[in-house]
Amino acid sequence: MLLKRLFSTVLFSAIVLAACASPTPALVAPTMTNVPTLAPSPTAVPAATATTAATTAPTKVPAPTDTLPYPHTACSAGVNLAGQTINLYHVLALGDQVDTLVAPAQAGYADATAYLNAHGGLCGATIGQVYPDATQDYDPQAIYTHLAGLQPRPALIVLYGTGDAEQLRDQLANDHIPALGFRAGSVLALYGANGQTPGWVFSTNPLYMDQIGSVCDFVAAHPDRYPHPVIGFIAFDDAPSGLAVPDAGHAYCAKLGIGYAGAVTTSGDDEFTIQPKVEKLVKAGATIIYTNANEGAPASIAKNLVQMGVQTTVTVAGVNFAFYMGPALLSQPDLGQDGLPMANGMIGSHPLSSLGELGNPGMQLIAAQADANQRAADLRLDPYVKAWSTTDLFREVYVQTGNRVGYDHVTGAEIKATLEKIVYATLGGVERLDFQGGARRAPAANRIGQLGYLGLDGQTAAGPGNPPKNFAVRGYLRLFQPIVVPLTDYQPAPDLRAGGQAVLATPAATVVATTGITATGRIVYFAGADHSPDNSLEIYLIHPDGSGKIQLTHNHVSDDSPALSPDGQQIAFVSNRDGNDEIYIMPTPASQAQADANDSHPTRLTNNPGSDGSPQWSPDGKKIVFQSDRDGNSEIYVMNADGSGVTRLTNNPAADGEASWSPDGRQIAFDSDRTGNAEVYVMRADGSGIKDLTNNPAIDVGPDWSPDGKRIAYISASSDGHGQVYVMQADGSHPINLSNSQTNDFTVTWSPDGAYLAFSRDLEGIDIMRADGSGQIALTHDPSEWAITPNWGK
């Protein structure tokens, strides 16, 4: 009977008992240039030249081939924009930070543009990159005025400095032109003078003050590494917001028990200008020196710490763009005792994948293209990766907008509306973008990284047993290849704005990765202890790297079948706490304390004498599909997310079980034994058009639709109950055994980026593998308990 209780559906029991406005490209004016610099080598795919766009309406002909090998939004059927060019515009100082920002960024844009255009472009249109005139002095106001005067206006521009974002904030709103912040994170730029009014700037990194909070969360969670933490700040005197960022940050850090050594400003980044600042903070007891400066400041701080002999007791920390990689390169001449540049080991916010994370499919793609285009080591920096990510985001946002409003109605205002609601992992996982329904705290999730240098193994950071790998650059200069090693998975970043919700992280919420999985999101599952006297089941939340485990329920009853809402803010689950199986929802907690509070007051959605189970959210979060025997037989129902409007979708004497929505919300896959054998079926969202997808002698159950809508994962079991994870095309063709093991695998779920699958193995715990079945690794295998039914969400 316990096994039946585990699965909450008759079908799972059977297994066990057997066991993108028309493009708005603007005309290119003489003061702008659309020819990317640092073009690929002749042997690589040539970069597309951004030309003046055609103004004709989209042609309704067969859509161009879309062969991008990662989850993304496809253009609406029949839309072909061939012959047009859709430009992304850049307000960028081409003569400033050339080596550490401009050159690698332009190389990345050239390579990304060439690759995307060779794989379908933007619904057949050519993607172009347009920069200011490199021969003219940089004047962001003049450049923006020129762009705003184009007809039609640009639908999206990219800004590269917080100062530019602050200066242009009001004009962007007045002109209805949204801007992506390549690096922008001041409260003024994103929220205005009152700190509460989101504008038209969408930063792709956390607020700078929130980044300090994330660093302090990490420090507080690692007392073994930072036994007596005291933080001090070095800020550029012309940095946006001045000392407001350190002031807000240290107050939060103090709540975590981290001391404060003060804040100082500097007007330069060389070691001699920085020296007295470092000495002052060290004398004040600083064990962590945090800087919001790029270029040479972190390298100079590190060198001064070595000269003072305190490099082993004082850590350098920096803002996200400190990894861009000024300090990584500028510290190369000064090597420490480990034979690596002195900036080695710097920590800070790094919500961007690194070329050292080659387990990430998106980074594999970028690295392969960098090789094909013969990019030197001094170009393979963070801006190179971020340019790829930004170009892919531009394509995704434009396609989502065109699909929603029509490609002849894509405007800046519509692009803004798309950005406010977008939840997207660029290139399948390079960056996670979620602007929180317009709140702008993107990414509201952050992670901590550590600066390192590529070792001889070509995959991991240099260290004991893995000496650094040198690279020849332009034939004469030899450099170490900087990489960033992630120390944590993505975690909620504290909101340190005045009036923000600065929730303190618990030590368990920010720990060093244990599985090596770099996928995004969180996994909910339910588990039970073998020694539990009442056979109760509880629900848990965990990150895919094995960190941040939180117990969500604490009852002497059974709580099971959890499912994260599409925005990650709520969890639907099944509980018999009121006498029989009903469906409840509760907020997703950020800490164990919040989880304990949530568990006391969940919201009950169903209330009937039958048993309700297996809830799954619709892609828009407005509905929940579930199974119930309230009418005497297990059928599939749908209701609104508040429990109202219950509608029966299936009506068959056989048992219909677990269901999964397609990403577009138009179809529902489910399992049923209506043919006398458990199979996976698909139907329209209203219950019509039922079709058998599997139709074979095996027991096929538990379908879960891939994020791109092209595949369905499920469990297939032979007559002896030996279950395995399979994936098939959405039409039921080409089934493939992915887990391919001698174990019994139950329940499978896709990662939000489609790169991984999580599943239950032998009822002992949750395992994770890549979407091709490789890299299988245990996530939760506690000998004292069993775990099942993972659901992977944001």
In the structure, what pLDDT confidence band is assigned to residue 373 with cuts at 50, 70 and 90? very high
Using CA atoms, how far apart are residues 407 and 430, in angstroms rounded to an integer? 27
What length is written for the chain?
794
Rounded Cα distance between 658 and 635, Å, is 10
Q: Which residue has the higher pLDDT, 388 or 195?
A: 388
Tell me if the bond preceding 69 is cis, omega within 30° of 0: no
Q: What is the mean pLDDT of the chain?
A: 81
DSSP secondary structure letters along 229-297:
-EEEEEEETTSTTTTHHHHHHHHHHHHTT-EEEEEEEES--SHHHHHHHHHHHHHTT-SEEEE---TTH
Q: What is the pLDDT of residue 784?
A: 57
Residue 243 pLDDT exceeds 80: no
Looking at per-residue pLDDT, the higher value among 100 and 102 belongs to 102
Q: How many helices (H) and strands (E) does the chain have?
A: 15, 45
State the number of CA atoms in the 13 A half-sphere of 547 facing the CB: 27
- Across the range 47-53, mean pLDDT stands at 32
Q: Which two tokens stand for residue 453?
A: 């240098």
Amino acid in position 785: E
Quick check: 429 and 519 in contact, CB under 8 A?
yes
Q: Which of 66-70, 333-337, 399-403, 571-575 has the lowest mean pLDDT?
A: 333-337
Q: What is the per-residue pLDDT for 558?
A: 86
Q: Which residue has the higher pLDDT, 547 or 788?
A: 788
Q: What's the pLDDT at 769?
A: 87
Lowest mean pLDDT among 93-102, 240-249, 446-455: 240-249
CB 517 within 8 A of CB 777: yes
What integer pLDDT is reported at residue 91 of this predicted model?
95
> How would you class 739 by CB atoms within 10 Å of its CB: exposed for 0-12, middle for 13-18, buried for 19 or more?
buried
Q: What is the pLDDT of residue 7?
A: 39
So what's the pLDDT on residue 11? 35
Pairing between strand 736-737 and 723-729? Answer: antiparallel
Distance of CA 476 to the CA centre of its chain: 38
pLDDT at 56 over 80: no
pTM of the entire structure?
Answer: 0.60
Give the side-chain half-sphere CA count within 13 A for 63.
15
Angle between helices 361-372 and 382-405 (to 10 degrees): 110
Residue with the larger pLDDT of the pair 706 and 326: 706
pLDDT tens per residue across span 65-90: 678 988 899 999 889 999 999 999 99
Place of tokens 């269901």: 659
Q: How many C-beta atoms surround the C-beta of residue 141 within 10 A?
A: 12
Which CATH topology does 34-206+359-442 take?
Rossmann fold (3.40.50)
Sign of CA dihedral 376, 377, 382, 385: positive
Cα–Cα dist 15/154, whole Å: 56
Q: What is the pLDDT of residue 15?
A: 35
Q: Mean per-residue pLDDT for 750-768?
A: 87
Rounded Cα distance, 362 and 388, in Å: 10
R_g of the chain, CA atoms, integer Å: 27
State the DSSP H helix or E strand holding residue 21, giving kind and residue range, or none if neither.
none
**Topology classification of domain 208-350+447-509:** Rossmann fold (3.40.50)
* 3-state secondary structure string across 771-783: CCCCCCEEEECCC
Q: What is the mean pLDDT of residues 457-461?
A: 79
What region, left, alpha or beta, does residue 486 occupy, with left being phi > 0 and alpha being psi -120 to 50 degrees?
beta
Give the right CATH number for 2-18+513-793 from 2.60.120.650, 2.70.98.50, 2.60.120.1440, 2.120.10.30.
2.120.10.30
pLDDT at 334: 67
State the pairing for strand pair 656-661/647-648.
Answer: unpaired
Give the per-residue pLDDT at 739: 85
* Mean pLDDT score, 307-333: 77
d(CA 251, CA 131): 41
List Cα–Cα distances, 461 to 165, 344, 360, 519, 719, in angstroms. Answer: 35, 10, 16, 20, 48
- Residue of 304 and 24 predicted with greater confidence: 304
Read off the DSSP letter of residue 438. G
At residue 167, does pLDDT exceed 90? yes
Work out the average pLDDT over 169-180: 96
Burial of 315 (0-12, 13-18, 19+ CB in 10 A): buried
- Write the CA distances from 597 to 561, 582, 600, 745, integer angstroms: 20, 20, 6, 34
In the block, which residue shows the tokens 């961007």?
A: 352
pLDDT digits (tens, 9 = 90+) for 601-654: 789 999 998 999 999 999 999 999 999 999 888 999 999 999 999 999 999 999
Q: Are 739 and 759 in contact (CB under 8 A)?
A: yes
What is the structure's pLDDT at 500? 60
Whole-number Å distance between alpha carbons of 409 and 287: 55
Q: DSSP for 349-407, please give it.
A: E--S--TT-TTSHHHHHHHHHHHHTT--GGG-SHHHHHHHHHHHHHHHHHHHHHHHH-T
Q: What DSSP state is assigned to residue 100?
A: I
Tokens of 380: 């393979």
Q: How far apart are CA 157 and CA 604, in angstroms?
A: 45
Instruction: From 211, 209, 236, 216, select the one nearest 288 (Cα to Cα).
Output: 216
Average pLDDT over residues 728-733: 94
**Highest mean pLDDT range out of 260-269, 317-326, 552-561, 624-633?**
624-633
CA gap 17, 776 in Å, rounded: 26
Q: Residue 389: pLDDT above 80?
A: yes
Question: In the chain, what are the domain boundaries?
Answer: 2-18+513-793, 34-206+359-442, 208-350+447-509
Residue 738 contacts residue 711 (beta carbons within 8 Å):
no
**Chain segment 116-165, per-residue pLDDT in tens:** 999 999 999 999 999 998 888 899 999 999 999 998 899 999 999 888 99
What's the burial of 500, exposed, middle or buried (CB within 10 Å: 0-12/13-18/19+)? buried
Q: Give the strand pairing for 288-291 and 230-236.
A: parallel
Does this chain's domain 34-206+359-442 share its CATH topology with 208-350+447-509?
yes
Tokens of 211: 């980044």
Average pLDDT over residues 204-211: 88
**What does the alpha-carbon distance between residue 289 and residue 281 come to, in Å, rounded to a whole number?**
8
For 151-162, the pLDDT digits (tens) are 889 999 999 988
| pLDDT digit string, tens, across residues 427-454 | 988 988 888 777 776 566 788 999 888 8
- Candidate ranges 257-271, 466-480, 651-665; pick with highest mean pLDDT: 651-665
| H or E element that contains 311 | none
Grade residue 691 by pLDDT with cuts at 50, 70 and 90: very high
The arithmetic mean of pLDDT across residues 341-352, rounded, is: 88
Residue pLDDT, tens place only, 473-532: 555 455 777 888 889 887 778 888 876 655 444 333 333 334 456 667 899 999 876 444
pLDDT of residue 511: 32
Place 294 in a pLDDT band, splitting at 50, 70 and 90. low
